[in-house]
Every structure is written in structure tokens, then in C-alpha cells.
Amino acid sequence: MAYRTSPANLEGLPPGVPHIIGNEAAERFSFYGMKAILAVFMVQYLHLMDGLGTSVMSEAQATERVHLFNGAVYLTPFLGALLADVLIGKYRTIIALSIVYCAGHAALACMGVFGASPWWLMAGLGLIALGSGGIKPCVSAHVGDQFGARNAHLLPRIFNWFYFSINIGAFLSMVLTPWLLEWYGPHWAFGVPGVLMALATLVFWLGRNRYIHVPAGGKRFLREAFSGDGLKAMLKLLPLYLFVAMFWALFDQTGSTWIFQSLDMDRNFLGIEWLPSQIQSLNSVFVLTFIPIFAYLVYPLGNRVWNLTPLRKIGLGLFIMASSFALVAVIQQWIDGGARPNIGWQILAFALLTVAEVMVSIVALEYAYTQAPKTMKSLLMCYYLGAVAVGNFFVAGVNHFIQIPSAATTQLEEAIAKLPEDWRNDPRTIMLPGYDGITGTADDVIARLEDGTLKAYELPRSESYQKLLEIFKTTTGNDDPFPSSERLTAAFGGKLGDDPWGNPIRYERLNYRTARLISNGPDQQANTHWDMGYVLTVDEPTGAQTRSWVDRIRPENPWLERRKQELGINDKTAGPNLETPLHVKAFVGGQTKLQGAAYFHFFTWLMLGTAVAFIPYALLYRPKTYLQD
């Protein structure tokens, strides 16, 4: 069947736009639902999917992997754009890659059914990155293709509605999917977004006869890409989106580091006990609120005082983003001091972040389309999406760099490789050589294993460490389970003692329920894989549980608790009136070089520097607008 290839002479809304927006809402439900639970799933659920034996992923490791996935999602648009602009056109590219997208969700559903779950997770995320990323520039450019000269004035409004549909889908998924994960487990939590992706594909296909099908540019695309206008447009936009990349480096951490921060906060807000991954949904609420406020009130009023060009909006948004992360850094300072701030403070940070998003993301999305020559709409949209990839890869790189490996874990893996195949049937005690590489010396570490998993490390004996641990065992039943650093140091006469190698022991408060005793270890150097000590943890406080009508349709216990019962895992702490009211876990390395508030301060200053550096670029840039007709 022949399709219309140029916009109709219309003043109103093109007939295919509702199908595109409906498709986008369902697809965004699918993507954001899966993405919302990804960080928590990696840390708390993945190691339990195949039974015992898989090691627990740290928060820094999970953050690195989440942002590598995000980066891949926003890097593959270049492939989708080339398919659309050079070979098969936008419509066929969207349909083909949507099928790949659905296959990725099917792979996630296989986790815990058969095979190794980490491999299914990797395969699923890879297919989703290819499918979701590949269609991104095509869908947004496909919206713009529906408009001609007479209705081009509707483009800004339609792009706002396009963003509106994204956030409707995102909000619903980020409320529902974490709830499904909490009570019904990963299969339902990943399965429902997969069904919505299939629905999105169907909705888009149903509108095939109503779209404007702009054909692939082919050789014309290549001529225009390397023409004066094409090269000039690409070179002019490249620096712009390098600045925007730093915005996304901060923004997408709402799905990783902000979630991990919320685990240490009081999440009861307005009488609702929020799950950590659900807090992200408020970003969508703020977007849906702020878009009309900015479009019909803030921008018109602001233009009376100062002409708010797209680049000026972006520049202001970058400064506001810096303020959002500054607030998150303050929150983390409170947490580092042992406080448990209310989640309302992070919600305020989300409000500031959303203001920045409205001024940067929506404007940059529209700007990428209007600044692109006619046959390069999808490719130039990739500059916008590529900025997201660069920002996420940067965050992944930072989190990779700050991780400190564990010397004991490395040696334990080497020792296990030498054991007989049936070693998991019996408890094992393995002597690991210390820093000197020789067993039977004072720096050896003992690893105790049961049921094929590590139960505990035993460090070289230290009288100072033992005295400190005894003090904590008798004080953790109080309202504040841990003494302040000053109080503990004063009780020991100004010094907590030394480890077996003469290094001073340091006491660090990590949050309201976790503290750490740490020293430099046998290599006598700080922040290395030989740092040793103990992590002290008390249980999460529990309040009165009320069951709303929503709670009545869920099981009595969360899926994670039921799964641990199936596997025979008992990680509950004894009560405060018993002999040991806290968890004590030895570690050898495995910490991070940049932790707590220092991590958020780093990104705050980075964003502030980016905003300042953006000013001269915005002053020098000269825009040129292209439309399809």
C-alpha cells in the first residue's frame, strides 16, 4: 500500500499523532517500569534468583551497571537513526526494533526459571538497549514529520504533549512496578512492562495508514550530511549536547544513587510509606504540573523581562540542576552523621530537578529537531540522545573508578577453583594468605563457607578491635544505636587503638543503622584492597503496620522474605535485650574511594562548572531552523 510521504495542508492536529503519543505512553511505562526497579533488583534480589551461590552486588557496582545500561540505551539511537534516515525509513525501523525490544523483556522474564540469571539479565538489558535506544530518535522525529508549514506553530505544544505522555507512562509504572517487585517478585515486576511494550507496538502498528511516511534519504541523506549545511549543523550542535551530557549525568542518578540514599531515610510522607523506587514517580508528577505552568505562565511572564531563547532556558536549567544536587549532598551529610531525615527533603530536591528538566530536556528535544536539515532529523536527534549516553557513561566510569576490590574475595575465588566439584556439600574453612602471600603467618584471613556460600571472614586477632566490638554490643539497644565519634574517642582516651600492624583504628558513621571500624591493614596504606575492619549494622526500625485496600490484595509477607525462607536464609538480628543486638561483619577491602556526601559534592561542583562554561557558548551560537516542507 502507498503511504503519504509529505505533510497534508492542515491547520490542526495531524491524524497520526494520537497513535504516536499512545504508543509512547505505553512504551515509556514499559521502559521506566523496568528501569525503576533495576538498581534495587541488582543489589537485593539478583543473588537469590538461582538459589545460593551468586555473590551480592554492592551499591557502587549496581550504579556502574545501571548507568552502563542507560548509556547503551542512548548510544544505540545512532544505529536506529541510520536505519531510518538511510535505509528503511522511520516507521519500519520503529516496528522492527520494537520486536527486539519485546524479546529483551522476554529474556528478563527467564531469570530464575532456567539458566543463570546474571546472563539472562545481561541479554535482556542488551536487547532492550538496542530496541529502546534504536527507536528513540525515530519516534520523536516521526512526530515532527507529521507537521507542515500551516500547522508548524503547533510543534512546541505537541512536543510538550509528547513529553506529557512520557511522564504519564513513567508515573504509573514507577508506582506499580516497585510494588509488584516488593510483594509479587521479579517475574511479575519485569513481566508487566513486557506486556505493555507489546501493547505499545500494537498501538503504533494500528496507526500505519494515518501517518506521514517520510522515506529514507538514501544517497540524498549522505549528500546532505556532508554538505555545508549538514556539517555545520552537526558541528554547531555537538558542543551544546556535551554541556547537556553533564545534566543527564546528574539527572539519571535518580534511578541509582538517589534510590540508595532513600534507603537510609524516613520514607513516610503525607501518611504514605513509600518504597525506595517509587520516589522517582514524583518526578513525573512534577513534570505534568510544571509543563503547563512554564508554557503558559513562567515563559510568557519571563519574556516580558528577558527574551527566554531556548539556549537561555537551557543555561538557567543547568544552574537549577546544580542546586538540586547541592540539596541532595546536604541530605547525605545528615545521613552520614547518623540522622534519618524525612524523604520530604529528597522530594524537594526532585522538584528542583524537575524544574531543570523542563528547562533543559524538553527544550533540547525540540531544539534538536528544529536545527536539523530535512533528511537528517533522526540523526541530529541523536545528538540529544547521545548526550544522555555520554552523561551515563561518565557516571559509570566514576563509579568504576571509586570501587576498591577485596583482596580476600580475589584469593577466595582462586582457592575455590582448586576444590573438588562436590565441595558445596560440606562446610569449609579456608585459610587465605595475607599481604605477605604466605599462609600460616599473622596476617592470614579465615573464610568460613556453608552451603556453597561465604558466611563470614575472620580477621587477624586484635585486642583493640575486640574491646570496641564489646562496647558496641552493649550500647546498640538505645534509641541511637551508635555512639558519636567524639564520645567513643573520648571513652578511649583520645585514641581507639591500633590494628595488629600498628595502624590507628578509625570509626566512621555511615548512616543511622550502619557504622564501620576500619584500619589501613597489613600494607599500611589507606583506600586499598587490604584495608580491614568490621561493618556494624542494626535492623531497620519497624513501626505499626496498617493495611489499606491496596494492601489487601497482596500477600502477607514480601516476596524477598518468602524467598529467603525458601532458601533457609536467616539474616535477622537478635533483639536489643539479647547478647548480640547487632550484625558484625568483617571485611577486607571492598569499600569505595568516594562515599557519602563527598560523592554528591563532586557532582554538584561539576554541574556548577558546566553551567558557568555554557554561558559563552550560548552567547556565540547562531540558530537556523529547518522544517520538513
CA distance 84 to 133: 13
CA distance 228 to 520: 60
CA distance 626 to 628: 7
Question: pTM of this prediction?
Answer: 0.88
Question: pLDDT tens digits for 155-203?
Answer: 667 777 776 777 778 888 999 999 999 999 999 999 999 888 888 888 7
> Cβ distance 573 to 583 under 8 Å?
yes
Domains of the chain: 17-403+596-620 (1.20.1250.20), 407-540+551-588 (no CATH)
Centroid of chain to Cα 454: 28
Q: Which residues of the chain have pLDDT under 50?
A: 543-546, 548-549, 573-580, 628
> Grid coordinates 537469590 are at which residue?
48
Residue 150: what pLDDT?
Answer: 65
Residue 403: what pLDDT?
Answer: 96
Nearest to 56 by CA among 41, 38, 68: 41
Strands (E), 180-306: 268-269, 272-273
C-alpha cell at 184: 509479587
> Residue 266 forms beta bridges with which residues?
342
**DSSP string for 458-521:** EPPP-HHHHHHHHHHHHHTTSSSSS--HHHHHHHTTT---B-TTSPBPEEEEEETTEEEEEE-T
How far, CA to CA in Å, does 270 sit from each of 139, 280, 342, 376, 479?
38, 16, 11, 48, 24
Give, for 587, the enclosing helix (H) or strand (E).
strand 583-588
Residue 149: what pLDDT?
Answer: 65
Q: Are strands 453-458 and 506-511 parallel, antiparallel or unpaired?
A: unpaired
Residue 85: what pLDDT?
Answer: 73
Q: Would you give the end-to-end CA distance of the chain in angstroms? A: 23
What angle, 0 to 180 degrees and rounded to 10, lies between the N-to-C axes of helices 89-109 and 117-145? 160
**295-325 as b/e: b if 16+ CB within 10 A:** eeebeeeeeeeeebebbbbbbbbbbbbbbbb
CA distance 617 to 275: 41
Give, for 169, the enclosing helix (H) or strand (E).
helix 155-184
Residue 413: what pLDDT?
Answer: 85
CA distance 283 to 459: 45
Nearest to 347 by CA among 438, 241, 238, 274: 274
Residue 476: what pLDDT?
Answer: 52
C-alpha cell at 203: 498501538
Residue 554: what pLDDT?
Answer: 76
Residue 153: what pLDDT?
Answer: 65
- Residue 437 in 3-state DSSP? coil
Instruction: State phi, psi for 503 to the nearest 5 degrees.
Output: -85, 140
C-alpha cell at 129: 538497549
Residue 422: what pLDDT?
Answer: 77
